Amino acid sequence: MRYLYTVVLLLACCIANCYGQTNAYNYKSVKQIRVKNGAVVSAHPLASAAGAEILKKGGNAVDAAIATQLALAVVYPNAGNLGGGGFMVLHSSKGEQVTYDYREMAPGRASRDMFIDTAGNADTSLSQSGHLASGVPGTVAGLFLSHKEHGRLPMAALIDPAIKLAEKGFVITGKEAAGLNALRDDFLKFNRVKPAFVKDGSWKAGDTLFQPHLAHTLQLIKEKGAAGFYEGETAQKIVDEMQHGKGIITLDDLKQYKAIKRSPVTFDYKGYKIVTMPLPSSGGIMLQQMLGILERYPLDKYGFDSPEAMQLMIEVERRVYADRAAFMGDPGFVKVPVTALTSPAYLAQRMSDYKPGKASESKNIHHGSPQQEHEETTHLSVVDNQGNAVAVTTTLNGSYGSRVVVGNAGFILNNEMDDFSAKPGVPNMYGLLGSEANAIAPYKRMLSSMTPTIVLHNGLPYLVAGTPGGSTIITSVLQTLVNVIDFGLSIHDAVNLPKFHHQWQPDLVYVEKGFSAETLYKLRGMGYHIYNRNGIGRTEVIRIKDGIIEAVADGRGEDSAAGY
């Protein structure tokens, strides 16, 4: 009898928690699809499926992107979020290009030296974990602003799939189980209410994760709109959580938070128009700088995995990351010389000391040591059959953010305060250096590297791309575009072939496995310090060509494409 009851219950849950062909208790990643109507590619099969279902129901790409982000907040808690922030780049069917900035903001009580200890040193344990590490979350405000301006289906329909996933649970993979097990001690250390992410015993592949508190928070958002997060019960829970852990986010900070519509960074590259994210992400300006330099060189003749192309791109990356450290920050607080940084004359002069066949040197005393296992952000790309294309990158910053789960509200808070420069010259978690331009100030947004990008050809969406990966985001997006536009690689190869990264400081070239031994030997001979590392980015790309939508999910993770 009990057996029969269990079977009926599982069957009922399954019916209630299936998205089209995707079942939350039995699903797998789909790495590449070719479809005609619309596609979503994201870090999790269930999130991509939730977005694709919205497209099938007549929702547009913005609706699908919202549903996918909300589903990611449930099924991909290491980076999907309600308690973090993000950026959306949109090319609408009307030919309009806009971006939405829902980056986190420093709380009103934040101060320039809040992470400096009594000995004058930056205490990165405080900027990277626990309650003080969190900026005021922006995601929910961003979802509602983009929906108000471009959504087609009611917001309730976009939230429902996430509520179901949180309430009725979903099966986790071995990788997800390992991630949760690895952080068990942190979850116990930073939380007074035992979060859903902590289990008696260890998680294993095939276990079901239920998140009733998160389901309740999502229900409040469904009923009350953004106020269901920034005011009332949820806001009070965030503030109670802050008081418990000596955090500084107040009810007023939450009420004041606003997502911002911004004009994108746009520029031409070899017959394509690139549409990407402006400040407070450094990504778009840096992409413009890097491609603005690269367009003077015959990259197509050099080819992928050639020492000529790699050396040139390393030197371009080095110079542009040095500019990032010196000049960039929230444009509401600092004057960033964007026009000068991207002017053709400046870009030409920037390479005047470039010597083919010989490495330059990054002159700085500090040598950061980026902690690659902490990088967590997530990207999704969406297109519909109406001509809309959406690129969204969102983040908690580190994997599972600050590890603080708001008590009884079920969502993780970001540790985005570490993206500020806690002290000039001291590297953040990505080894990035910063200056006064990115110093902490109340209500200021921390500089980001997120680079959601749309490439137009003849005025229509051609590529939608983006990736997580902290400081490597910008170089991964750059190399993906160059792989397609200059090297003529397939989308599959542009995403999955190895990537490399140089960020000025530390003066190292990070390389994934897969570049030829001969090329690396030649680069070493030129004086480059080659450093092997895993997983540079997890790039999600959609290309629209000859009426076919090709969506490719990065093979580095469990990322997945869905569409019809």
What is the set of active-site residues? 377
Residue among 167, 330, 419, 550 that touches ligand GLY (CB under 6 A): 419
Is 470 marked within a binding site? yes
CB of 123 to ligand GLY, least distance (A): 19
Nearer to ligand GLY, 42 or 92 (CB): 42
CB of 134 to ligand GLY, least distance (A): 12
CB of 35 to ligand GLY, least distance (A): 31
Nearer to ligand GLY, 238 or 474 (CB): 474
CB of 304 to ligand GLY, least distance (A): 26
Any contact of residue 476 with ligand GLY (CB under 6 A)? Answer: no
Nearer to ligand GLY, 134 or 449 (CB): 449
Unique residue bearing structure tokens 């329909």: 157
Unique residue bearing structure tokens 């009922």: 12
Is 228 marked within a binding site? no
Supply angle C-alpha 37, 40, 45, rounded to 5.
Answer: 130
Is 396 marked within a binding site? yes
Burial 536-562 (b: 16+ CB within 10 A, else e): bbbbbbbbbeeeebbbbbbebbbbbbb
Is 118 marked within a binding site? no
Nearer to ligand GLY, 160 or 419 (CB): 419
Residues that contact ligand GLY, how many (by CB under 6 A) = 9
C-alpha 555, offset from chain centre: 17
Q: Which residue is nearest to ligand GLY (CB)?
A: 448
Any contact of residue 395 with ligand GLY (CB under 6 A)? Answer: yes
Is 103 marked within a binding site? yes
Residue among 377, 428, 453, 539 that touches ligand GLY (CB under 6 A): 377
- Cα dist. 51→549, 556, 559 in Å? 15, 21, 14
Q: Which of residues 425-454 bind ligand GLY (CB under 6 A)?
A: 448-450
E strand or H helix at 551: strand 548-552
CB of 446 to ligand GLY, least distance (A): 7
Is 448 marked within a binding site? yes
Q: Which residue from 194, 212, 168, 226 is spatially nearest to 46, judged by alpha carbons?
A: 168
Any contact of residue 68 with ligand GLY (CB under 6 A)? Answer: no
CB of 448 to ligand GLY, least distance (A): 3
CB of 447 to ligand GLY, least distance (A): 8
Q: Are 236 and 249 in contact (CB under 8 A)?
A: no
Burial 108-132 (b: 16+ CB within 10 A, else e): eebebebbbeeeeebbbebbbbbbb
Please state the three-class secondary structure of 162-194 as a single string: HHHHHHHCEECCHHHHHHHHHCHHHHHHHCCCC
Residue 397 β-bridge partners: 376
Cα separation, 24 vs 43, whole angstroms = 15
Residue among 470, 506, 537, 557 that touches ligand GLY (CB under 6 A): 470
Nearer to ligand GLY, 133 or 180 (CB): 133
Cα separation, 292 vs 356, whole angstroms = 18
CB of 202 to ligand GLY, least distance (A): 29
Q: Are 377 and 103 in contact (CB under 8 A)?
A: no
Any contact of residue 155 with ligand GLY (CB under 6 A)? Answer: no
How many residues would you count in the chain?
Answer: 564
- Cα dist. 529→205, 360, 511, 516, 536 in Å? 39, 11, 10, 16, 17
β-pairing verdict for 548-552 and 560-563 = unpaired
Nearer to ligand GLY, 281 or 496 (CB): 281
Any contact of residue 422 with ligand GLY (CB under 6 A)? Answer: no
Unique residue bearing structure tokens 């709109």: 225
Nearer to ligand GLY, 470 or 537 (CB): 470
CB atoms within 10 A of CB 437: 21
Helix (H, G, I), strand (E, B) or coil at 20: coil
Residues 519-538: x where in contact with ligand GLY by CB under 6 A, - otherwise, as a string: --------------------
Phi-psi region for residue 137, left (φ > 0), alpha (ψ -120 to 50) or beta?
Answer: beta
Residues 6+ apart with CB under 8 A from 362: 318, 322, 504, 505, 506, 507
Any contact of residue 128 with ligand GLY (CB under 6 A)? Answer: no
Q: Which residue from 174, 166, 140 is spatially nearest to 50, judged by alpha carbons?
A: 166
Residue among 146, 397, 453, 505 that touches ligand GLY (CB under 6 A): 397
Nearer to ligand GLY, 448 or 483 (CB): 448
Instruction: Return binding residues for L-glutamate.
Output: 103, 395-397, 419, 448-449, 470
Instruction: Return binding residues.
Output: 103, 395-397, 419, 448-449, 470
Q: Which residues bind ligand GLY (CB under 6 A)?
A: 377, 395, 397, 416, 419, 448-450, 470
